[in-house]
């Protein structure tokens, strides 16, 4: 292990309840996905400690929503500045627990810095609007004041693939609107959330405004079902998301459930080297463990003979190995079980007639970047979410066929369309059944302030600072009567 990893192992990790560190006798071990070495031991809250955190959040809800905007903004700015100052340490933590290459971990920290900065800015201008009601006779001398009020404490259930930034996308908007937030990090990657708790504890946020609880088993159900947590923001697998919705039918649940995103190479696109590099990079980055990584590549037949070899060459140029090596582009999956699953899906597709152009091998938790073609649309690597470094290439004869294939899935998060044609761009926006269409690039592009979320099986609600703040709040109108407008 590196010196940075040694430092992580040496530091025990408490969790955070009502802004204070606590521990317990129950623990979980965090292991490095690349080689299985121990990274840290983390305390796991008891049911009594979970109850304490919920009660504190409920008690804080009313006073916290009434705090001045500058108090919340200052706390968010402190987090942003501190993350920036501690970038190297936090990036090392992400790589140690998650296994993504250090270069991508550093980018993730930078994005989280921006998320908290954006949240501080939005906290200062989240004021609602005025509405004239004298648009008919009954509304004369009346004015509507529309404000957004927090729905209540937020339960933030985070995934392993972005253990800092996807937590930031839940914590920052909740704190910006004055809603207490309880973070439940993924069991494989709790360290980044716990570090964030440490930084939040340095602010002037009131007790109960935040907690970080790396719970397991029945304690998870305790959080999901408790009526004092009326909002759940979940990012993760479809099965778990549907289970949460079923267990909390009366709660406001925001879900991002993933996708098998398509990149479409249109007949008019000219820079095939650019497209090949972008598709290769963002099909394989994070070892394919991103909800908007490229999984399906749909290529117009007029470009296929030139594009596909370029794509394979770009994929084969990516360096795999120890994610702490700065030259490594593709690291391991989160664990060997998931790597075995991805390899099995690839073997299944090849056995059914798919052509393996490169990759397809596995070593421990690492799967070689893989490109397949001639894949049946019903194969798992095509119709389900691989969440691994696999690209499925399909050649089509028309734009309509490309859109039909892109839409032929239960998911609908984002799509990328490589075109220079404005008419094609607007046609894509009108016809593709996704939450976001990226023109001239891969579906993996995300600006952290933009509305982000999917349709169909990809979830409900939107992230992005202002969008999430709206999801965590509800409108209230106050009608002022007898007003001379």
Catalytically annotated residues? 256, 291
In angstroms, how far is CA 235 from the centroid of its own chain? 6
Residue 205 carries which DSSP code?
Answer: P
Radius of gyration of the chain (CA): 23
Both tokens of 346, joined, read 């690839």
- Could you identify the residue written with the tokens 């690492």? 366
Could you please report the per-residue DSSP string of 421-443? -HHHHHHHHHH--SSEEEETS-T
Distance CA 84, CA 199 (A): 12
Contact between residue 253 and residue 244 where contact means Cβ atoms under 8 Å apart: yes
218: how many CB neighbours lie within 10 A of its CB? 9
- Could you identify the residue written with the tokens 């069991």? 187
Both tokens of 123, joined, read 């906290």
Distance CA 279, CA 314 (A): 9
* Residue 382 Cα distances to 52, 294, 379, 393, 414, angstroms: 45, 11, 5, 9, 16
Distance CA 160, CA 48 (A): 26
Q: Which residues pair with 479 in a beta bridge?
A: 144
**By three-state DSSP, how is residue 209 classified?**
coil
Q: Is 53 exposed, middle or buried (0-12, 13-18, 19+ CB in 10 A)?
A: buried
């Amino acid at each position: 292990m590196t010196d940075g990893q040694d430092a992580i192992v040496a530091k025990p990790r408490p969790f955070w309840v009502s802004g204070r560190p606590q521990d317990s006798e129950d623990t979980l071990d965090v292991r490095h996905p690349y080689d299985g070495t121990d990274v840290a031991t983390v305390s796991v809250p008891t049911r009594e400690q979970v109850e304490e955190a919920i009660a504190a959040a409920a008690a804080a809800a009313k006073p916290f929503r009434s705090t001045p905007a500058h108090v919340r903004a200052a706390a968010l700015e402190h987090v942003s500045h501190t993350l920036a100052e501690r970038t190297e340490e936090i990036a090392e933590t992400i790589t140690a627990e998650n296994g993504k290459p250090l270069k991508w971990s550093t980018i993730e920290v930078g994005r989280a810095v921006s998320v908290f900065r954006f949240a501080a800015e939005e906290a200062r201008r989240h004021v609602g609007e005025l509405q004239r009601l004298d648009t008919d006779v009954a509304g004369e001398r009346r004015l509507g004041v529309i404000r957004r009020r927090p729905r209540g404490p937020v339960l933030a259930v985070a995934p392993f693939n972005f253990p800092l930034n996807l937590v930031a996308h839940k914590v920052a908007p909740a704190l910006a609107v004055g809603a207490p937030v309880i973070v439940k990090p993924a069991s494989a990657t709790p360290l980044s959330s716990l570090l964030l708790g440490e930084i939040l504890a340095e602010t002037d946020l009131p007790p109960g405004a935040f907690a970080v609880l790396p719970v397991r088993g029945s304690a998870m159900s305790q959080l999901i079902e408790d009526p004092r947590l009326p909002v759940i923001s979940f990012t993760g697998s479809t099965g778990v998301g549907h289970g949460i919705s079923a267990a909390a039918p009366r709660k406001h649940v925001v879900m991002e459930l993933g996708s098998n995103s398509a990149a479409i190479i249109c007949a008019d696109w000219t820079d095939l080297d650019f497209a090949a590099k972008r598709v290769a990079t963002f099909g394989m980055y994070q070892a394919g463990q991103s909800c908007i990584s490229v999984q399906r590549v749909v290529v117009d037949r007029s470009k296929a003979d030139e594009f596909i070899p370029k794509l394979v060459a770009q994929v084969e140029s990516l360096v795999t190995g120890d994610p702490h090596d700065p030259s490594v582009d593709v690291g391991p999956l989160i664990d060997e079980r998931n790597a075995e699953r991805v390899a099995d899906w690839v073997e299944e597709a090849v056995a059914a007639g798919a052509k393996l152009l490169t990759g397809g091998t596995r070593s421990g938790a690492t799967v070689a970047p893989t490109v397949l073609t001639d894949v049946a649309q019903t194969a798992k690597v095509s119709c389900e979410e691989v969440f691994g470094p696999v690209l499925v290439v399909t050649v089509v004869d028309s734009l309509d066929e490309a859109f039909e294939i892109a839409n032929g899935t239960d998911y609908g998060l984002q799509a990328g369309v490589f075109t220079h044609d404005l008419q094609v761009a607007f046609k894509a926006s009108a016809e593709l059944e996704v939450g976001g269409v990226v023109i001239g690039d891969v579906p993996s592009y995300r600006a952290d302030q933009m509305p982000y979320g999917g349709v169909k099986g990809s979830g409900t609600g939107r992230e992005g600072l202002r969008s999430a703040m709206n999801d965590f709040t509800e409108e209230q109108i106050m009608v002022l009567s007898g007003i001379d407008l």
